[in-house]
A and B are shown apart, each in its own frame.
Chain A
Amino acid sequence: MTAYLLAIGIVALIYCLLALGLNLQFGLTGLVNFGVVAFFAVGAYTSGLLSLQGVPLPLSFAAAAVLAGLLALPIGLLSLRLRDDYLAIVTLGFSEAVRITIQQESWLTQGVQGLPGLPKLFASWGPVSDAAIFAVLLGAVALVAWGTVRLTGSPFGRLLKAIGDDEAALSALGKDPARFKVQVFMLGAALAGLAGAFYAHFITFITPEQFIPLITFYVWMGLIMGGAGSVRGAIFGSLLLMVFLEGSRFAKDWVPGVSEVGMASLRLAAVGLALILITLYRPHGLWGGGKSQ
């Protein structure tokens, strides 16, 4: 039971990390990233492949964050000069392009067979390795949360908020919003890459099928449930998401006559319905009320 709670705790913290990255991008700066899973996948595969070559995990984790962040640069430069919705379209397309490339380039990634047998983080600690992973992830989430709060109050953070509020006014003041947007986009992507590395070295077996666009919208669902723009919202929303994802697994026992596959369909339906209902009726999060962030 403890092992199970620890495992879902770790996955919840990984979603927290993803949501905090998206919160920097969307919540603070208004960048609509529909390709969160692309940077998550790049991080997971980067760290996974490097570790299989014998690279020590601290280095492979750093490489995962750096590569995911760097990949965000061309995407950001490409679309951030244009209207908001282009970034959404481009990132969504990018995430599918990344998944298919991972699936096809089997000389590097072993394609659909995936990468089994990745080294587990803190494997040498034996029975307490999961607890150690949980503790390190908790530290990382706390650090990012603290950093985000600090950032919000800093001159850079105020700039980001101003981009979200009124970009034209900011340009008129002689600032270059596009540059800041690209920087934040890269930072959020690096966090997703880091989350990917944690995921790869906790699950120890990654396949392209784990990186479908649905993951992106799980993160979105968590963020908008909690209320985009606030660190507390991103974290509580991700925990709520985890309760939903795990809860829907048990729901199978109460709904008789529905197969495993049917249950997956129903879960997808619930995610779709949640996205619609939250945007319609709770735009500032489930407990956000009507006030603007």
Chain B
Amino acid sequence: MTWIEFANLLINGLIEGLVVALPALAMTLVMGVNRFPNAASGDLLTTGAYAAVAVQWLLGWPLWAAALLGAVITAGVSAGAYRLIFRKLAGRPMVASMLAAIGLGFLLRSLISFFAGHDQRTFDLPLVRAWNFGGVRLLPTDLVIAALAAACLAGVFVLIYRTSFGRQLRAVADSADLARASGIRAGGLMISLWLLVGALSAVGGVLLGMKAVVTPDMGWESLIPAFAAMVLGGIGSPVGAVLGALLLGVVQELAVPLLGPSYKLVLAFAVLAGVLLLRPAGLMGRVQLVR
């Protein structure tokens, strides 16, 4: 591999990593606070992408506005699902929430494929030529995607680490009992969390759709990579989820010349298995959350 090929793969890997970081972060937030792996995250991402496609197609709005409305719709779906399903399963064994999340994922995906069919959709984007720096190619669209993903991540980190909402959220994640004893009301906080999780997943879906195409299975296919990124970063660690996603994106992309693109998901699984074997706490996680 020449360094030019290497640089191209590295850039692409970082961009894909930034996009996967959004659902991985959403999943980590739920894992840290509600303590179950939200297998519906992938299909919330698909919901966001299709909501934006539908808005663009029905109302003819520009992409940014369609994406915004798509995020609002998905945030509503996500908070509604929490209110109707996951809140009621809070005291029950983890498997109940996991099964319900799988069920919710099936339900969302099936409604989407029922109304929109299985055909690929695309966003209306201006066609632009890639910039070429002595062989290192950079698509302006990819740069926009990366910048939007980074801005979104930065926004979420400000929310988590610089606002009263984030402080309360971190308190509940640390110890729900202690947080309640300190007068934090979990109800409204959880609704806000799930609104955030839905919006974050939806933006991930739109960016993924801008990078490639929109299909009913796009979210399911990004579920295992998002899981792997979350575990690699250390469960419950927001910074870890983003680092994990970036690392995974680069590793997946660098392996493409060796294994071909079809094995990306298998590689994500291999990374997941490797991390659990060598360092179950991940890059930034704490051991007591793992065992």
Contacts and interface: CB of A to CB of B under 8 A. Distances in A.
Interface of A: 26, 30, 32, 34, 78-79, 81-86, 88-90, 92-94, 96-97, 100-101, 103-104, 214, 217, 220, 224, 261-262, 265-269, 271-276, 279-280, 283
Contact of B228 (A34, A93, A104): A93
Contacts of A224: 99
Interface in B70-100: 85, 88-89, 92, 94-96, 98-100
A275 B88 contact: no
Contact of A279 (B100, B113, B266): B100
Contact of B269 (A85, A97, A274): A97
Interface stretch (B104-112, B170-178, B201-209, B244-252): B104-112
A92 B39 contact: yes
A268 B110 contact: yes
B136 interface: no
B98 A90 contact: no
Contact of B100 (A26, A90, A275): A275
B98 A88 contact: yes
Contacts of B224: 92-93, 96
A280 B269 contact: no
Interface stretch (B4-12, B16-24, B123-131, B273-281): B273-281
Q: List 8 A-B pairs, minimum CB-CB distance, nearest first.
A: A275-B103, A272-B106, A272-B107, A268-B110, A265-B114, A269-B110, A93-B269, A276-B103
Contact of B106 (A93, A275, A279): A275
B269 A94 contact: yes
B95 A84 contact: yes
Interface residues of B, number: 47
A32 B262 contact: no
A266 B110 contact: yes
B154 interface: no
A269 B265 CA distance: 25
A34 B95 CA distance: 10
Given A32-B98, A100-B262, A271 B291 contact: no
Interface in B36-95: 36-37, 39, 85, 88-89, 92, 94-95
Contacts of B88: 280
B99 A220 contact: yes
B263 interface: yes
A81 B291 contact: yes
B15 interface: no
B95 A32 contact: yes
Contacts of B228: 93
B227 interface: yes
A266 B99 contact: no
Contacts of A103: 262
A269 B99 contact: no
A283 B91 CA distance: 13
B193 to A, nearest CB: 19
B110 A88 contact: no
B99 A78 contact: no
B286 interface: no
Contacts of A32: 94-95, 98
Contact of A272 (B103, B117, B270, B290): B103
Contacts of B268: 93
A97 B265 contact: yes
B118 interface: yes
Given A96-B265, A100-B263, A90 B103 contact: no
Nearest to A274: B103
B85 A89 contact: no
A217 B98 CA distance: 12
Contact of B273 (A26, A90, A92): A90
7 contacts: A32-B95, A32-B98, A93-B224, A272-B106, A275-B99, A275-B102, A279-B100
A280 B113 contact: no
A86 B106 contact: no
